Amino acid sequence: MSESEPFLTTETVEEERTRVRHVFALLCSVGIIIAYADRGNMALSIVPMAEEYRWSMVEKGSVLSGFFYGYVVTQVLSGWAADLFGGVNLAFSGMVVCCAGILCIPFAASRGVWALFLCRAVLGVFEGLVFPVFHSMVCRWIPPCERSFTVSLFTASMQLGMIFSNILSPLSIESSLGWRGVFFVSGAVGLVWAGVWLFFMTNTPREHRSVSEKEAVYIEREIRRQEKGDETEVQDYLCGCTMLDAFDTDPRGIPWRGVFSSGVFWAVLATQFFNSWCMFVFQQWLPTYYRAVFQTDAFATGLSVVLPYSVQCCVALCVGYFGERVVQQARRRTLLRRVAQVCAMCIPASLLLVVVLCPASYTVSLCVFTVCIAANALSIIGVQVAHMEIGPRYGGVLFGIINTVCILAGLVGVKTSGWILEATGRWDVVWGVCCLSFAAGALVWGCFYRAELLFS
């Protein structure tokens, strides 16, 4: 069992079988599925879109990267605002405007590359409100012993979004709706989710009408235990404050100097940058790669992307459930976090050499990218939970900073890949850069990360 066990009676544990916090995690996961489906939709739709409007590889790269220019703007601000004020209204507003932008994509595309680039950038600005808010709310709703599995659920939801888009988008593209129908459907679904979210969710468990007293106390106790570490002190604390008091994060109290002078935090940032470069390049360019190199049709292209993300989804859930139990019970937690993340990056780096150095058949290429993407799910018990481990009180802010770096990596990586392809037409160079990026991230993480509370 988890380390929380000494603080729970048998009665409390039984009460915790029914948990509103699981509904919170499920709603967040559905929101992530919708958000990531849009990214997958564009990666597939750009192929017929570019053929219709006769766009070059550089122009395709501009359209694909436009989202990240906007997405990077709101990461830190939305994380800080969610820590300070709560995240329900922020996530609702972000998703509503984001879905409105999705519905406008067909019109923007008809006006040219730069109109579509601007539309995608605005869409990115408001989608950037959503993900940091979810991570901030995890620090309020989810006890520490359950967070890795929650993050694994979020990661699986990212892959499910990609899977759904790669299955459903080709159906729309090949139908009378064409590629335009892809965005009409996903935008409408997102608006429905936003309404359900606003109706059901609250900023903290204490505010929710369906949360039992035992569940609220359990969540508060476990979160304060992580920060204070002593049962008596935690009990005294809980008797004297509400959940809102417990999470009132004064922006002047955020230890900015400590954050940016921490070598561990810089190791997290660097690892996320190198890892995200590769994963965003995979996400945005794999459909074009299969279409260009192996001449696959829309259905085969979609299925070629579905397989890697389906396997990663399964691996992510297994790693999140079983892996964190091992980590929590281990005495050398730093070593296990390091090993997990190094494997998450070194396995893909090694396999990419096959594609770079040898002419790969369709089958070999599909197997390589499937294992690369699936193996990266080990990051769930590595770099993806680092911000919750080193500074759980400032989870939204730290995630915002980290995700900003991730998006910058995606922006630069996707755009650079477009330039490489336009200049050389060589996919092996694109995958070679990813190989070096994975290796660099593994080196930084293995040398500098420590699993300990740094900012409380």
CB 67 within 8 A of CB 120: yes
**17 occurs within a structural domain:** yes
The predicted structure's pLDDT at residue 215: 85
**19 occurs within a structural domain:** yes
CB 355 within 8 A of CB 418: no
Structure tokens of 138?
């995890």
pTM: 0.72
Span of 222-226, 281-285, 355-359 with lowest mean pLDDT: 222-226
- How high does pLDDT run on average in the chain? 82
Structure tokens of 131?
């993900």
**213 occurs within a structural domain:** no
**Residue 109 to residue 64: CA distance in whole angstroms:** 12
**224 occurs within a structural domain:** no
The predicted structure's pLDDT at residue 7: 40
**238 occurs within a structural domain:** no
Q: How many domains does the chain fold into? A: 1
The pLDDT tens digits of the residues spanning 397-427 come to 788 888 889 888 988 898 899 899 989 989 9
Structure tokens of 235?
């009990």
The predicted structure's pLDDT at residue 330: 60
CB 400 within 8 A of CB 79: yes
Please state the separation of Cα 215 from the chain's center in Å: 27
The domain that holds 186 is classified in CATH as 1.20.1250.20
- pLDDT above 60 for 38: yes
**367 occurs within a structural domain:** yes
CB 189 within 8 A of CB 207: no
From its phi and psi, is residue 56 left (phi > 0), alpha (psi between -120 and 50) or beta? beta
* Percent of the chain whose pLDDT exceeds 90: 25
CB 301 within 8 A of CB 434: no
The candidate with the shortest Cα–Cα distance to 437, out of 278, 267, 285, 269, is 278
**368 occurs within a structural domain:** yes
The predicted structure's pLDDT at residue 239: 41
CB 123 within 8 A of CB 229: no
The predicted structure's pLDDT at residue 328: 64
**6 occurs within a structural domain:** no
- pLDDT above 60 for 232: no
**Residue 294 to residue 280: CA distance in whole angstroms:** 21
**Residue 450 to residue 383: CA distance in whole angstroms:** 11
Domain range spanning residue 64?
11-204+247-448
**Residue 164 to residue 309: CA distance in whole angstroms:** 10
Q: Which residues fall within 8 angstroms of residue 194, CB to CB, at 6 or more apart?
A: 92, 95, 96, 99
Max CA separation in the chain (angstroms): 68
The candidate with the shortest Cα–Cα distance to 402, out of 285, 248, 259, 284, is 259
Average pLDDT of the segment spanning 74-83: 82
